[in-house]
Amino acid sequence: MQHQSNTPITIKKHWVNYILPGFLGFLGLLILLLDGVFFKIVGGLWTLYCILLILTIASVKWTLSDKQLTISKGILPWNKIFWQIPIFDIYETIYNHNIIGYYLGYGQIIIRRTEGVTSSIEGFRLANASRFANLTNQLVQEQKSLKHSFVASPFISAPSSKSLIEELQHLADLRKSGDINQAEYDHMKAILMARS
């Protein structure tokens, strides 16, 4: 499937993530069937824990749009995690897999936000991780080329027929839409102000 403009792509955890909690939940149900109050309590709590674990795994969702990457997980309101990362803040996306992941179609995604030593966001055993990482890197490269072409554009280097107010308004619109960040806005504004 080819990525289309304004169409978000969503990936979730691969089905292999549910095997262990499902098996442990089944064992909890078997313990629940044993005679004795102790076994009923332990089996019930064990089964409940496995159900919550399965629901938590099912809640993990990575969504990629043209403007941002959104990562959400968690089912309980006080324990829900929600990240929104603009595409221009992503430095690169790394994809890894083991041999089983290669054949079953899952892998690990690492999102690095800046060059050099930095914190990263990782997702393990995500379905279609390779395709998702490739699309993310493609959007990051498009964003970088847009930024470089804008900085090198005649908008800054050559005088235009637009007034200073119109050029500043255009710059503010670009910052508001997320095409440039605050530092780029300040730099280009200083160039425009010096030119006038």
The pLDDT assigned to 52 comes to 95
What span, in angstroms and rounded, lies between the C-alpha atoms of 24 and 137? 38
Residue 69 · residue 85 · CB < 8 Å: yes
Residue 64 · residue 139 · CB < 8 Å: yes
What span, in angstroms and rounded, lies between the C-alpha atoms of 46 and 64? 35
**E runs forming strands in the chain:** 9-12, 61-64, 68-73, 81-86, 92-96, 106-112, 120-127
Taking only the tens of pLDDT, the chain with its 196 residues reads 444 456 899 999 999 999 999 999 999 999 999 999 999 999 999 999 999 999 999 999 999 998 899 999 999 888 899 999 988 888 889 999 999 999 999 999 999 987 666 778 999 999 999 999 999 999 999 888 876 665 555 445 445 557 778 888 888 888 887 778 887 788 788 787 877 6
The pLDDT assigned to 119 comes to 75
What span, in angstroms and rounded, lies between the C-alpha atoms of 61 and 83? 11
What span, in angstroms and rounded, lies between the C-alpha atoms of 68 and 139? 10
The pLDDT assigned to 42 comes to 96
The pLDDT assigned to 89 comes to 86
Among residues 47, 139, 150, the alpha carbon closest in space to that of 90 is found at 139
Q: All domains of the chain, ordered by start, with CATH? A: 9-152 (2.30.29), 153-196 (no CATH)
pTM for this model (two decimals): 0.69
CA distances from 98 to 4, 22, 24, 103, 124 (A): 29, 22, 24, 9, 11
